[in-house]
Structure 1
Amino acid sequence: MIAASYCVVGGGISGLVAAYRLRRLVGADASITLFDPADRLGGILRTERVGGQPLDIGAEAFIVRRPEVPTLLAELGLAASQLGTTGVRPLLYSGARLHSLPPDTVNGIPSSSASMAGLVDDETVARMAGEPSRPLRWQPGSDPSVADIVGDRFGAQVVARSVDPMLGGVYAGSAATIGMRSAVPTVASALDRGAPSLTEAVRSALPKVSGAPVFGAIDGGYEVLVRALVQHSGLRWIQTSVESLAPDGARWSLRDDEGTGYTADAVVLAVPAPRLARLVASVAPRTAAAASRVPVASAAVVALAVPGGTPLPQRSGVLVASGERLHAKAITLSSRKWGRRGNVELLRLSFGRCGDTVARDTSDDELLAWSLEDLGTVFGIDVAVEDVCVQRWLDAMPQYGPGHALVAAEIRDGLPRGLAVAGSHLDGIGVPACVAAATRAATEIAALA
């Protein structure tokens, strides 16, 4: 009996988890070939040495209350490698000064007017306080942009100074480019159930306070997870890009950028939406059309090592409100967030939002200069740089616009038998959502055997 053969296109977290899950589902005899032209596997999970210390310069954390990553780490024997934050909270930079992050928000949407005092003007505070008494028009199942409903109910200042800083950090987008059901699904569900106001919907959606860290990371960086997935999946890595895909009887034929052909019983496509659209245009036009409707943004990260003792606040970082005269959209004080090791402080500055070309067009030297300027502006200090690493993530940040769930469903529904999709453009940009989508794809493919 001939062993089954599977191909995975894309070597980021989604492709690696799909390969690992496939191995567990189809057994040791199956062949699993993964294609990715990058210099290393992992995609946006990328760990570099900065100041002699491992630092993640792509995705840096995962939400602990979602089970996907803790479960995966336990399966791989890495449970002891899971780290929690030190418990320090971020600051907001708004109105050219630092503010404490408002408590009890859901992705920046506040649950009380009192929590916004000092961050927004008195008129906005009064508008928020009166919001529960104003009639709410909400259609169950609808998916407006976050800016539409928060701006209408609480005012534009709340959007710019509380919501946009959170969504800019996560999605490289804004409240105007992200739908409610993607950014705050629990709030949307509360409104569906009849919450009489946005204030009440947010209050009902607040996560229960447990005292446990909200975010987790991996000791040694995400490269530890990447290595384990490669080892346990037993995959064969072909360091090329797949350029074409075609049915071959009951199987699939693939051809890479060097002209070499491959065949497989089934294929998982774990590539960004723009690439997916091009790859399946001739075999799954409905999927290609849907994937082409997913906008993408680019981002850049400047990682710095500065001397130990640099007078940085005991905070996890700074989120930047819209319209501020800073270049960065967020500053992560990594050593304060996760605990300092060695004799340096590590920090990251993030640049680029949906619609701009900062990550693509700005030189490394200019990004570094912007970083030092912003650190001086925000903290009032001149920073001595001991080490620096610049990383660009081009077209890597999908935007979950209003109605995105329907687009994701259309991407999946348009695929012929033997093809499945995974990736951050489907169900969420975070690592847990990518793990879940990859697990779903592998399960669908394995069920065909």
Structure 2
Amino acid sequence: MHVIVIGGGISGLAAAQRLCADGASVTVLEASARVGGKLLTGDVAGSAAVDLGAESMLARRPEGVDLAREAGLGESLVPPTGAGAAIWSRGELCPMPKGHVMGVPGDAEALRGLLSAEGVARVAREPELPPEPVGEDAAIGEYVARRLGREVVDRLVEPLLGGVYAGDAYRISMRAAVPVLYEAARHGSSLLAGVRAVQEQAAAQPCASPVFMGVEGGVGRLPLAVADACRAAGASIRTGTAVRELHGPRTGGAVRADGAPAGWSVVTDGGEVLHADAVVLAVPAPRAARLLVDEVPAAARELAAVEYASMALVTLAFRRGDLERVPEGSGFLVPPVDGRTIKAATFSGNKWSWVAAQGPELFVLRTSVGRYGEEAVLERDDAELAALSLRDLRTATGLTATPVDRLVTRWDGGLPQYPVGHGARVARVREAVADVPGLAVCGAAYEGVGIPACIASGKRAAGETLARAAAGSARE
């Protein structure tokens, strides 16, 4: 069986790896000049390697670390140093509270110092409120604000969710984005009690692995290693090859040169026509919608409605000798309600031992800028974004040194948004796609934006493709 995977991000590569492992012939078509999507490494100050996209993956979910090991990066997996994070709230750097689920606490006292006394008291009164059914779905911010008060949303939930989705907590679907919190809200009368139950359940399952894991030299090495493993297994990976049209059984399909049915034909921007028995579509929702508009119009309509947020990462390198003092901790998150430009800062030189070791004379950090609905700041040029980041860093930490290098990485339309009802939309897409033989979809727009979720999505698409092919062969 020949399968064409359209999209060479980590989802598409994970699909290709699974297909190759099961003996399929695989061609990966990637529109850009490189594979990896939003996983990318670069360098600052001439030699310091840094991640210019995601820098870590959730290790408690196994798909990411498992794929890294399968691709030969097992010895390069490294956890963060354990340096503590903070919240820059009301002009103060407050230690990140412990014992919460995406900012929702199990104990009001854990938020003392971050919230006002009134805010802590409001959280503590939650068990006295009448039960509130969460229904089929709810916006995290709206539901938590009703149960615990807006302050806990604005000061903790919002910055944490913003770090993952660059989104608005008052719009984001609880069921799609934080399903464990949705289940806690659905089955309990008290949200605080539900969060404590989640924490107790986690504590009862001892796990020696770190919560997060990175890769020495950058997580951006992962897709390159997976691509190499796919090539070694016989896959063809073509970059700079955009797809213009997609035709399957509903729009004429294709016929091979020998007259045998091909199932699918893929037309590139250059006019080349490729044939395959199956197609895995591993591209962002807007591109998937354009390719499916004739073949699966119901799925295309749903995918066209998926919104995305844009953001930028500003990487700065300083000479340690120029710093009056090195900022402490792994970095900080910023509540949007405070009106700052940056939404987070990561002190890479403190968070990752390999970053500090490769350039002992340098201190490397990065800030993130841009949220859903607040992309106007991204219209500024790179120099302005760096200057705005330095202004906020100076206010937050007292950092006054001039960087020796800077690098601004823009991710336009980089993060799909998961509003209320997103899970139902994904279900409708999958239902429409399932009716079309030889077609599967995967990526960050479906069941999670994190690296493990994207890998799981790709492997699921590959598994569906293989299972449907096997079922077809059995019928024949």
Q: Provide the TM-score with structure 1 as the length reference.
A: 0.95
My pick for the range that moved more, 382-391 or 277-286, is: 382-391
Does the 8 A contact of 2:56 with 2:219 survive in 1?
Answer: no
1:131 counterpart = 2:149: no
Distance in 2, matches of 1:227 and 1:359, equals 32
Q: Of the candidates 197, 207, 210, which is equivalent to residue 190 of structure 2?
A: 197
Cα distance in structure 2, aligned partners of 1:16 and 1:212? 25
Alpha-carbon displacement from aligned partner over 1:383-422 (angstroms, at most 9, x marks no partner) = 3212211111111101111122111111111111111111
The answer to whether 1:447 aligns with 2:458 is no
Distance in 2 of aligned mates of 1:139 and 1:13: 34
Counterpart Cα distance in 2 of 1:66 and 1:143: 24
AA aligned to 1:108 is: G
Distance 2:132 2:292 in 1: 40
Q: Which residue of 2 aligns with 1:78?
A: 73
Amino acid at match of 2:410: R
> Residues 375 and 383 of structure 1 are in contact (CA less than 8 Å); yes or no, is this contact kept in structure 2?
no
Equivalent-residue separation in structure 2 for 1:442 and 1:435 (angstroms): 11
Instruction: Check whether the contact 1:87–1:337 (CA below 8 A) recurs between aligned residues.
Output: yes
Match of 1:256 in 2: 268
Letter in 2 for 1:198: L
1:409 paired to 2:427: yes
1:345 deviates by 1.3
1:94 match: 89
* Preserved CA contact (<8 Å) 2:40 2:221: no
Q: Is the 8 A contact 1:360 1:394 kept in 2?
A: no
Residue identity in the other structure for 2:13 = L
User: Residue 397 of structure 1 aligns to a residue in which SS?
Assistant: strand
Gaps of 5+ in 2: 255-260, 470-476
Deviation of the 1:224 alpha carbon: 2.5
The amino acid that maps onto 1:428 is G
Match of 1:233 in 2: 230
Match of 1:7 in 2: 4
Instruction: Give 1:245's aligned amino acid.
Output: L
% identical equivalent positions: 39
Match of 1:431 among 451, 462, 465: 451
Q: What is the aligned partner in structure 2 of residue 333 from structure 1?
A: 347
Deviation beyond 4 Å, 4+ runs, structure 1: 209-212
Paired residues of 2:227 and 2:237 also in contact (CA < 8 A): no
Per the alignment, do residues 436 and 243 of structure 1 end up closer, same or farther by CA in structure 2, a change over 3 Å counting?
same
User: 1:425 aligns to what SS in structure 2?
Assistant: helix
Structure 1 residue 73: Cα displacement: 1.9
CA contact (8 A) 2:172 2:420 kept: yes
Pair 1:379-2:397 in alignment: yes
Question: Distance between the aligned counterparts of 1:359 and 1:81, measured in 2?
Answer: 36
User: After the TM superposition, which residues 90-239 of structure 1 pair with which residues of structure 2 at under 5 Å, given as runs?
Assistant: 90-139=85-134, 142-192=136-186, 194-206=187-199, 207-208=202-203, 212-234=209-231, 235-238=235-238, 239=240
What's the CA shift for 1:108? 1.1
- Cα distance in 2 for partners of 1:139, 1:95 equals 31
Stretches of structure 1 that go unaligned for 5 or more consecutive residues are: none
Q: Does the CA contact (< 8 Å) of 1:359 and 1:393 recur in 2?
A: no
Query: Given that residues 9 and 268 in structure 1 are in contact (C-alpha distance below 8 angstroms), is that contact kept between their aligned partners in structure 2?
Result: yes
C-alpha distance in 1, partners of 2:302/2:191?
Answer: 31
Alpha-carbon shift at residue 211 of structure 1 (Å):
6.9
Rounded to whole Å, the distance in 1 between the matches of 2:376 and 2:280 is 32
1:444 Cα shift?
A: 1.1
Moved more, 355-364 or 163-172: 355-364
Contact 1:422 1:441 (8 Å CA) reproduced: yes
Deviation of the 1:293 alpha carbon: 2.3
Cα shift at 1:316:
0.9
More helix by share: 2
Please, which moves more after superposition, 62-71 or 220-229?
A: 220-229
CA distance in 2, matches of 1:200, 1:211: 26
Shift of 1:157: 0.9
TM-score, normalised via structure 2 length: 0.89
Q: Distance in 2 between matches of 1:312 and 1:106?
A: 30
SS at structure 2 position matched to 1:447:
helix
SS in 2 for 1:163: helix
Q: Work out whether residues 109 and 150 of structure 1, in 8 Å CA contact, stay in contact via their aligned partners in 2.
A: yes
1:107-143 CA-to-partner distances (Å, cap 9, x unmatched) read 1112211112222222221111111121111145x21
Q: Which moved more, 1:338-347 or 1:154-163?
A: 338-347
2:106–2:195 CA contact under 8 A, matched in 1: yes
User: Contact 1:305 / 1:388 at 8 angstroms: preserved in 2?
Assistant: yes
* Whole-Å separation in 2 of the counterparts to 1:72 and 1:237: 18
Q: Secondary structure at the match of 2:189?
A: coil
Distance in 2, matches of 1:273 and 1:26, equals 28
Letter in 1 for 2:310: S
Q: In structure 1, give the amino acid aligned to 2:351.
A: K
Contact 2:369 2:378 in 1 (8 A): no
Aligned equivalent of 1:422: 442
Select between 345-354 and 246-255 the one with higher mean Cα deviation: 246-255
Residue 338 of structure 2 aligns to a residue whose secondary structure is coil
* Superposed displacement of residue 447, structure 1: 2.3
Q: Is the 8 A contact 1:372 1:383 kept in 2?
A: no
Q: What is residue 333 of structure 2 aligned with on the other side?
A: 319
